[in-house]
Amino acid sequence: MESTTVKRHNRELILRELFAAPSMTKRQIADATRLSMPTITENLRELAADGLIVPAEARASTGGRKAQTWQFNARHRTAIGVALRPTEVVCMAVDLRGNVIAEHKVTMARRNDNAYYERAAHTISTFAQSLPSPIGVCFALPSSAARHCICVAEDWNAATESYQGISRILTLPCSRIARNVAYATVELHNHPLLRNAVCLYLGEYINSAIVMDGVAREGNLEHMQLDASGDICRCGSRGCLEVLCSSRQLTEEGESLPGFFGVLEQGERNHHVRMDRWLGSLAHAVNNIRTFVPADVILCGPIADYLDDSEIAQLERLTTCAEHVNPSARNPQVMRGCCVEYQDAVGAAQSLIPASHDGIPSD
């Protein structure tokens, strides 16, 4: 192996260990890599000069000087996620650990014309210039499944055209991610041991994503039929999950979601009836999901943000008591998601972060 190849291999080896650990001393690096102390010292000096690692807090010692520790510099590179709202452009930045480090929001009515594309691109570019070495920009767009629903296809088309128009202007690499997958990406980041799950976004509309082997994929569970005689859904069918479990089943005409839960807390009977009916429909959906996706269910979105522990517990009891659930099988764990503000933009940014050091440039 040539000397330059050996040197690069040693550099990569040390950096990989530091990427995987919160911090390490020279001795810990030597034990993990089997490299000599002079080699480690030289590489640490070079990696620090390149900004890839930084000194961490010195560790206490039983005698003599405190041991100097080093850690991977998660802010050496950054990633940007963008959500194009009808009246707002939201930009979120994360470091290489996926932690949010900056955000920028600009009120801007979305229009599919060059003036909007240029203004939005300028907003994103200005934000990018304030960050250390962005990897790229990822846009959170409506689920591709939405294009098959006539009443929301217009929004999907408009968002897609906006993405294409803006990405042509930006100089950074651009990509796109389905909004429901972006939500699931945040859940994966906050639950690193999560391998399989179903994420349900609960709001005025419902979206879904399926996590399998630690990878989030688009779902279309919102159009799973629960009641063949139910109200008509935007997909053209009747009694879908979205029809029975959207916020429209909770709020009365002119009532906001915060208003509904505020009255619910006061014990108003009709609101409790609607809430119990809503929980029953969601439990029905969870049990159906469990028949073909043996995984936990994570609730995200505006409604999930208002659910308290007692309502989550009630939902779990309803799923456990369902007659068709195999009593010997593990009951589904239903949990409230992260409910992070602008979770789609955060997830879009996190989707650009490599899962291991192998995808991060070391030069």
For residue 303, what are its two tokens? 């409604």
**Domain 193-336 belongs in CATH node 3.30.420.40:** yes
CB–CB of 325/290 below 8 Å?
yes
Helix (H, G, I), strand (E, B) or coil at 232: strand
Residue range(s) occupied by CATH 3.30.420.40 in the chain: 78-184+343-359, 193-336
**Where, residue-wise, is CATH 1.10.10.10 in the chain?**
3-72
Q: Are 311 and 286 in contact (CB under 8 A)?
A: no
Q: Distance between CA 58 and CA 55 in Å, rounded?
A: 8
- Whether domain 78-184+343-359 has CATH 3.30.420.40: the reply is yes
pTM, two decimal places = 0.86
d(CA 214, CA 283): 24
Secondary structure letter of residue 253 according to DSSP: T
Return the pLDDT at 117.
Answer: 97
Averaged pLDDT, groups of 10, the chain, 363 residues long:
79 90 91 92 92 82 72 93 95 96 96 95 98 95 64 68 95 95 95 91 92 91 91 89 94 93 94 95 92 88 94 87 53 84 96 71 52
Whole-number pLDDT of residue 5: 86
Query: What is residue 256's predicted lDDT score, i.e. its pLDDT?
Result: 94
Interacting residues of 32 by C-beta distance below 8 A, sequence separation 6+? 17, 24
Q: Give the strands of the sheet with 174-178, arranged side by side.
A: 100-107, 88-94, 78-84, 134-141, 174-178
Assigned fold of 3-72:
Arc Repressor Mutant, subunit A (1.10.10)
Of 117, 119, 93, nearest in space to 106 by CA: 119
| Residue 300 contacts residue 343 (beta carbons within 8 Å) | yes
DSSP state at residue 325: S
pLDDT at 7: 87
